[in-house]
Structures are given as structure tokens and as C-alpha cells.
Amino acid sequence: MTGTPVIQTRDLTKSYGGVAAVRGLNLSVEPNRITAFLGQNGAGKSTTIKMLLGMVRPSCGDGTVLGKRITDAKENCEMRRSVAYVAENKPLYGYMTVEQTIRFASSLYSDWRTNVAKKLLNEYKLPLQRKVKSLSKGMRTKLALLLAFARRPELLILDEPSEGLDPVGIELLLQMLVAQASQGVPIFFSSHQIAEVERVADDICILDNGRLLVNASLDHLRESYRRIDLVFPFAPPEYEFQIAGVERIHSQGHEMRVFASKNAEAVIEHARDLNAVSVEVAPVALRDIFLETVKEN
């Protein structure tokens, strides 16, 4: 990871009344990477994105997107020229036709690529003269994605981009994300589809209850997270394995399963010291990392 982060937040917090939606978020999104933003419903993902784009004021803390301060209205407006954003639920203007929507968006951005827009229009088979309000959810999603991908932004922020798409559409979307990233466009996207995230993401951020629990590369997570299945000649004491990096221990009879975010070697060594009869170490899929992290929190 090199270069100035395209998104950086410092103690970013948002409270609604007495309820904290985002708590002390210290997020760093690197350039030239696809960063996935994972979290359960209500974890604070959309609120974070809204704060980044100036739609919601942080209760405290600050941040920058492409070097512009998010809490400064002028800088935020300037930043939005270089950011393509696809919001959750793909909001569009129902009173416009597809053609009017495209014409409207193209007039506002200097980085609009007419040839790409035409290509996507053909690919997505969008009816130009149809009013947006009469489009299906999938069509609306495609139109919203077209508005983002037809540009050459400095940063793409996508909130649940695959929502409403069929498998073919999802496949096209993933290819598009990879193509954009290969052209040097950093991508920050939230998703619930972990299988998709695992296919395209370079970096993973996991948010739960407004707190950032993980901000690391997917490779690093794959290397450091391990599931260790142990069998002992006796019922093993769990407290023996409460060492740094062990996230969760589950034991049943003579068997024990340890979920470690680091220090797997120390766990294995300790198991051998306790005369474990079987030690099996397996890598952990992102889905399990996410579930275990969220459960632990």
C-alpha cells in the first residue's frame, strides 16, 4: 500500500440523539485498490458514506476524501466533482426519462465519456425514452451504475452496487469494477455479498455497531486468520488458549476449535505442549472472518 489515502477519517463520530451510529471511525482507504466496506444492516456503513459526501454532518471528528476536508462545504463540493457515487436503493429522478437522466448527468461532469455511456447503454439494454419511474429495480440499478461508470472519476464510492441485479448483471458489475481498478480508479464499496467481495476486493473494512473492527488487506486476512481443530486425550481447559490473537474458542468433549486472527503458531505449539493427539490448521474464508469478527464484537 503506497500513496496518500483517498479516504481518511479521524475519530469520525455520528450520533442521532443519544444513539451513536458511527463511533470514532479511523478509516484509511488506499489509492489504486478496491476496498470493501462490510457490516450488518445498521452497522453505520451508509451513515459513514453520507458523512464522507457531506450529506450528514459528523458529531465530532473529521476526515478527507481526495485530500479535501469533508466538513468544509466548499471543499466537499469540489471533491464531489471527482467522485462518482452510487447510493443505496439507486435513487434517480422518476420524472426524467433514461435519456434525460444521462443528458443531465453528462452536463455536470467534465470527466464524462460519451463512448463508454453508449457502450453501457447497449450492454444494459436500457430504453432511452422510458420514464425512470417505470423502470424495474434492476434497470434502475443499471442506469445508476451507468452514470458512475461512464465517468472517469478519481474515486468510485458504491453503496450496495449489486442490489437488484440478476447474476449476469452482477458478473458484468464485478468485471467493470476490476476494469476500473486496473485503470487506476480506487473503489470503495459496501456490500452484503461476501462471495462477490472476496472475488474483487483488495482491502477489507469491517464495521459493526459503528466501530471499525478490521481495516486490512484481504491477503493479510487470509494469511493471518486460521481455524485450528485440536483433539486432546482429555477435556481441554479453554483458559489455556486465551492468548493474543485468539478470537474464539469452542470446545466439546476432547475436541476444541480455536479461531485465531494471528499467532496461530503459538496456539499450535501450546497444543503440542499439552499433548494434543491431532492438530489440523485450515485457512478461513472471508465469510467466516466476517461472521466471527461480528460475533466477537
Partner 1 sequence: MLWYKAWLETRSRFLTSLATLTVFCAVFVHHAQGILRPEWTPAYNRLLYIAQQYIVVLWILAVVLLGMGGIVREKATGASLLTLSLPVSRALLLGVRVGVGVLEAIILAVVPWTAIFLVSSHAGMPILVSQVGFYVLLLVAGGLVYFAMAILVSCLVEGEYTAPAMAFGVVFLTIIAFDAWLRPLNLWRLITGDFYIDRHTYLLSAHFPWLGALACLFVSAVMLLVSVKVVQRREF
Half-sphere exposure of 198 (CA within 13 A, CB side): 12
Least distance in angstroms from the C-beta of 91 to partner 1 = 4
Size of the site for partner 1 (CB under 8 A): 29
Least distance in angstroms from the C-beta of 10 to partner 1 = 21
* Residue of the chain from 25, 56, 117, 256 that contacts partner 1 (CB under 8 A): 56
- Based on the shown chain and the rule CB under 8 A, indicate whether residue 53 belongs to the binding site for partner 1: yes
* Residue of the chain from 22, 29, 70, 87 that contacts partner 1 (CB under 8 A): 87
Is residue 250 helix, strand or coil? strand
* Residue of the chain from 1, 4, 11, 78 that contacts partner 1 (CB under 8 A): 78
Give the residue ranges of DSSP H helices in 205-285. 218-224, 264-273
The DSSP bridge partners found for residue 156 are: 84, 187
> Which is closer to partner 1, CB of 53 or CB of 178?
53
Least distance in angstroms from the C-beta of 103 to partner 1 = 7
Burial label for 273, CB within 10 Å (0-12, 13-18, 19+), is exposed
* Nearest CA-CA partner of 160 in 50, 36, 65: 36
- Based on the shown chain and the rule CB under 8 A, indicate whether residue 179 belongs to the binding site for partner 1: no
- Based on the shown chain and the rule CB under 8 A, indicate whether residue 107 belongs to the binding site for partner 1: yes
Is there a contact between 174 and 165 (Cβ–Cβ < 8 Å)? no
Distance CA 253, CA 23 (A): 40
- Based on the shown chain and the rule CB under 8 A, indicate whether residue 204 belongs to the binding site for partner 1: no
- Based on the shown chain and the rule CB under 8 A, indicate whether residue 158 belongs to the binding site for partner 1: no
- Based on the shown chain and the rule CB under 8 A, indicate whether residue 66 belongs to the binding site for partner 1: no
Q: Which stretch binds partner 1 (CB under 8 A): 22-30, 53-61, 203-211, 243-251?
A: 53-61
> Which is closer to partner 1, CB of 46 or CB of 191?
46
Helices 98-108 and 137-149: crossing angle in degrees, nearest 10, is 20
Distance CA 127, CA 23 (A): 43
Element (H, E) at 236: none
- Based on the shown chain and the rule CB under 8 A, indicate whether residue 280 belongs to the binding site for partner 1: no
**For the CA atoms of the chain, what is the radius of gyration?**
22
The DSSP bridge partners found for residue 282 are: 227
Q: What share of the chain is helix, strand, coil (3-state, %, to 5)?
A: 35, 30, 35
- Based on the shown chain and the rule CB under 8 A, indicate whether residue 130 belongs to the binding site for partner 1: no
- Based on the shown chain and the rule CB under 8 A, indicate whether residue 264 belongs to the binding site for partner 1: no
- Based on the shown chain and the rule CB under 8 A, indicate whether residue 124 belongs to the binding site for partner 1: no
Residues lying near partner 1 in the complex (CB under 8 A): 50, 53-57, 73-74, 77-78, 80-81, 83, 85, 87-89, 91-96, 100, 103-104, 107-109
